[in-house]
Structure 1
């Protein structure tokens, strides 16, 4: 069963709507150096992650530049998992994973050296990152190449980058990832989720698996 993560929540109402739609993971973005309407303060991140109910994962998405900064942010916000966007090298990712109780995901561009990070992290998010390393670009990438990564790497792979209710079923069929991750693809505007689009996104993922 392909998991669904919706990232970039800024409002409790959107968290509730995503949970009601059946998503598996709620992403909340904090401590990133790039300009994005989806970033919230660490205090707000804590509130949003507290609103995630049991059996749904709350994921802190950050670009902390050091292991200690990421560890402190995780300790303060108390997510179920931490997703780092390429600011730490593989050794630092391994050190972070050893220092915190949460699972550690790493978001990387689709043409990055994924092997080294796969050995250090609990999972990879293969995305179409911007020049500064942030996600939410709304751009897709080479799904065929990512399908090869899914087959060769022994670590959960989440597909991100330009996924929408209109193309996610094709993406799942092509790649067969552990999970899919969307942010801008289900928004009315930056940081504000389109609840109908979230429902359609989840439905398309589930319907593809029923057909398969």
Structure 2
């Protein structure tokens, strides 16, 4: 099994440069309120520096239609990670407006409630991402959730034939444990490859090496 890897929260040319020669499929750029937030202009610039094999992802929380249009039309980024309360109907309308987009729907890990949510998005989104629930934050918390619930999330994703990625507190030190026990389709890391709040090329490399060693 080849696990998909997404490095998230990239903010600088140095961050993007650290992806060179790493077998990473996706690079996440946060456009929502966060210490890792960048502007649309920065996204436009950093996107051009990515290796051709890496897909840029715009991470958004409850975006307006104009914000989505800017990401797609100005930045040319057509893979969106929706990390807010975007409803199935909202996502369906977005896909109708922009037919070529790929949607990653992030859901907070809340057990049965999350499993039920996944069923309502199954015919709309392309990928599910399960992240740690925290009332005052939308990802990037550096905290794990109850991994014992992952089999239920995997089953829900399989029922609608969509891949499942796991986020929330992943690090080079624990990612092999996650992959060995639960076998998700992908992993998403941000704070776990940082030192003092800044992306670390060394930790990014360690993370990917340990994923690929499985």
Normalising by structure 1, report the TM-score. 0.89
- Displacement, 1:151? 2.6
Partner residue, 1:127? 131
Whole-Å Cα distance in 2 between the matches of residues 133 and 91 of structure 1? 24
Whole-Å Cα distance in 2 between the matches of residues 180 and 89 of structure 1? 24
Partner residue, 2:70? 72
How has the CA–CA distance of structure 1 residues 148 and 41 changed in structure 2, closer, same or farther, with 3 Å as cutoff?
Answer: same
Partner residue, 2:182? 175
Partner residue, 1:58? 56
Whole-Å Cα distance in 1 between the matches of residues 72 and 78 of structure 2? 9
Partner residue, 1:197? 203
- Displacement, 1:133? 4.8
Unaligned runs of 5+ in 2: none
Whole-Å Cα distance in 2 between the matches of residues 67 and 133 of structure 1? 22
How has the CA–CA distance of structure 1 residues 207 and 81 changed in structure 2, closer, same or farther, with 3 Å as cutoff?
Answer: same
Normalising by structure 2, report the TM-score. 0.88
Whole-Å Cα distance in 2 between the matches of residues 87 and 69 of structure 1? 16
Which range moves more in the overlay, 38-47 or 79-88?
Answer: 79-88
Which range moves more in the overlay, 63-72 or 125-134?
Answer: 63-72
SS in 1 for 2:6: strand
Cα RMSD, aligned residues only: 1.6
Which residue of 140, 145, 157 maps to 1:141? 145
Partner residue, 1:40? 38
Whole-Å Cα distance in 2 between the matches of residues 125 and 180 of structure 1? 9
Unaligned runs of 5+ in 1: none
Whole-Å Cα distance in 2 between the matches of residues 198 and 142 of structure 1? 24
Whole-Å Cα distance in 1 between the matches of residues 82 and 210 of structure 2? 27
- Asked if 2 retains the 8 angstrom alpha-carbon contact of 1:28 and 1:61, the reply is yes
How has the CA–CA distance of structure 1 residues 139 and 64 changed in structure 2, closer, same or farther, with 3 Å as cutoff?
Answer: same
SS in 2 for 1:21: coil
Partner residue, 2:109? 110
- Displacement, 1:68? 4.5
Whole-Å Cα distance in 2 between the matches of residues 66 and 90 of structure 1? 15
Q: Structure 1: which 4+ aligned runs deviate by more than 4 Å?
A: none
Whole-Å Cα distance in 1 between the matches of residues 187 and 9 of structure 2? 14
- Displacement, 1:201? 0.4
User: What count of residue pairs does the alignment treat as equivalent?
Assistant: 204
- Asked if 1 retains the 8 angstrom alpha-carbon contact of 2:165 and 2:186, the reply is yes
Whole-Å Cα distance in 2 between the matches of residues 16 and 151 of structure 1? 37
SS in 1 for 2:188: strand
Whole-Å Cα distance in 1 between the matches of residues 77 and 146 of structure 2? 31
- Asked if 2 retains the 8 angstrom alpha-carbon contact of 1:71 and 1:96, the reply is no
